[in-house]
Amino acid sequence: MFTSKKSRRVLVLATAVVGSLVASILPASAENAAPKGDLVLVRNQDFATFNPDLAQNDSIFPQQQIYEPLYMISQDGKTVSPWLAKSSSQAADKLTWTIKLRTDIKFSDGTPMTSADVKFSLDLATKGDGWGFLNTAIDTITTPDAATVVIKTKTPWAPLLSDLACFSNSILPNNFGGKTAEAFYKAPIGTGPFKLDHWTPGTELKMVANTNYWQPGKPYLNSVTWKYVVDDNTRALMLASGQADINEFPPATSVPQIKKTAGLMVKAFPAAASEFIAMNELSTPALADVHVRRALSYAFDRRAVIKVVLGGLGTPSNSILAPNVGFYDAKSPGVQYDLKAAAAELAKSKFAKGLKLEYLATSGSVEDNAMSSILQASLKKIGVTLTIKTQEPKVKRATQKAMNYQLTSTGWTMDISDPDELLTFALDPENGGTHAFYTNYNNPAVVAAVRAGQSNADPVARQKSYSFAQKTVADEAMMIFAYNAPYIYSWSSKVTGFEVTPTLSYHMEDVKKG
């Protein structure tokens, strides 16, 4: 049929074009199916900033969809694994870490990620006023080549990889991609699965799929929108009506109802979070007495609070660490509810004839109302009069920081897998910078154990140090370890692949809708 040379050339050319098209399309369709589905997540916190150094829970989780760190926390919250990094090794001097980077990573604008970006980001994070404290051990960062970063620490520093997995150590383009910091944070670029579409403060934050994402075929979704909806009922109704796909933190008491609703899913994800009642040891001589503190801790009916506040979805704390934190010791004794033991401890103290104490509670807080009134009722039975004073949240916080309280509720959510973040903050008054979680607790043996845990790379030795610290502070009731509450999320059954880590981050690149 094709007799002329011209016709044959056309046929060959057409075949080549079609062939190359098919060749290029087939693998792509197998690995990189076009993202589809627009997901809406409703939450009661308004997004605040794209600056990782100033991010709190309101901003961390959305930020993590744009920026990524070198290491990623595991689903159980206890370890980390390479993410933008390929591998790492620690030199014999225990101070030098060599980190090899993946070479297939691109920022969402198509620019390849190199060691220069990593050095810039980590140096920036170390200088940060917000989360820079996590990097205080870092001495120097050098870049022998485009795919290698060498970090030298001032002292041997076991939590380094965990610290690098924190969102605050996310990798940004070198020198903000040539922009000013202010301009960059208004139009951020990252290596994450999504990129910014628009942000309307007080309303919503929308991200769209990053087509340069390094994980083949991901993200599955076309877009994710975080909507700020304060009212619990409204969020629930939005989910029920299909206006939202995921509801962050529905009240625990609503879980049974959600479970009965067709088309909705609900899950209580284990959290690396703990609720405490702090006792200011210098506020009154009674709280400096370990027997009084133990009596108060024994008198606190944790299960009653869990029932009232969480509808039973929680566990009494036995340690300063939550069960989903690395080096948590399940055998930590942790004083538990026992009124007889409470009376016996009080009898051993100098305040056996009774005493008066004041509990500073957060106004309008269901949790604090339950905790304070349940403790008040128990203490009355052993001759301790507890008066409850309430303050607006920010005023209460200021009062706590000024150390003008006796007992008050407080809490903690881990940001890294390593216990060092909390233990230094809460137990090392000198390095933590907060009078040991505003309690004035100070036990040199515990401080030494926390510091030993930081510097020793051997996991067995670290466990020994941290178990000692956990047991000692539980025995001495440095705080009342109250309970561990899960993170509750509900979502449409059309959504799959949604998981939350104990440090409260989620991988939206794994989520599908429809």
Strand partners for 88: 99
Task: Output the CA torsion sign for 311, 251, 392, 403.
Answer: positive
Each residue 100-119 as x (binds another protein by CB under 8 A) or -, in order, gives --------------------
**Is the Cβ of residue 60 or residue 149 nearer to another protein in the bound state?**
60
Note whether 71 and 82 are within 8 A (CB): yes
> Near another protein by CB under 8 A, which window of 47-55, 209-217, 283-291, 491-499?
47-55
Q: Which residue has the tokens 């016996």?
A: 344
**Is the Cβ of residue 278 or residue 386 nearer to another protein in the bound state?**
278
Let me know if 433 is exposed, middle or buried by CB neighbors in 10 A (0-12, 13-18, 19+): exposed
**Is the Cβ of residue 47 or residue 67 nearer to another protein in the bound state?**
47
CB of 258 to another protein, least distance (A): 15
Contacts 24+ apart (CB under 8 A), 205-213: 205/47, 205/62, 207/62, 207/65, 207/66, 209/35, 210/108, 212/106, 212/107, 212/108, 212/109, 212/110, 213/108, 213/509
Tokens representing residue 394 in the block = 């920010």
Rg (CA), the chain: 26
CB of 17 to another protein, least distance (A): 42
> Near another protein by CB under 8 A, which window of 284-292, 380-388, 391-399, 461-469?
391-399
CB of 264 to another protein, least distance (A): 13
Q: Tell me if 286 contacts another protein by CB under 8 A.
A: no
Q: Tell me if 432 contacts another protein by CB under 8 A.
A: yes
Each residue 129-148 as x (binds another protein by CB under 8 A) or -, in order, gives xxx-x---------------
Q: Tell me if 412 contacts another protein by CB under 8 A.
A: yes
One of 11, 91, 330, 398 touching another protein (CB under 8 A): 398
Tokens representing residue 354 in the block = 């009774």
Distance CA 466, CA 462 (A): 6
Q: Tell me if 269 contacts another protein by CB under 8 A.
A: no
Which residues 234-253 are close enough to bind another protein by CB under 8 A?
A: 234, 237-238, 240-241, 243
> Near another protein by CB under 8 A, which window of 80-88, 189-197, 199-207, 216-224?
199-207
223: three-class secondary structure by DSSP: strand
Q: Tell me if 47 contacts another protein by CB under 8 A.
A: yes
**Single-letter code of the amino acid located at 370:** A
Note whether 102 and 136 are within 8 A (CB): no
Q: Tell me if 203 contacts another protein by CB under 8 A.
A: yes
Q: Tell me if 506 contacts another protein by CB under 8 A.
A: no
CB of 394 to another protein, least distance (A): 3
Distance CA 195, CA 72 (A): 19
Note whether 141 and 151 are within 8 A (CB): yes
Q: Tell me if 365 contacts another protein by CB under 8 A.
A: no
112: three-class secondary structure by DSSP: strand
> Near another protein by CB under 8 A, which window of 259-267, 300-308, 332-340, 407-415?
407-415
457: three-class secondary structure by DSSP: coil
Tokens representing residue 36 in the block = 């589809």
* Residue among 161, 156, 97, 92 nearest 456 (CA): 156
Chain residues binding another protein by CB under 8 A are: 46-49, 54, 56-57, 129-131, 133, 182, 185, 200-203, 227-231, 233-234, 237-238, 240-241, 243, 392-395, 397-399, 401, 410-412, 425, 432-434
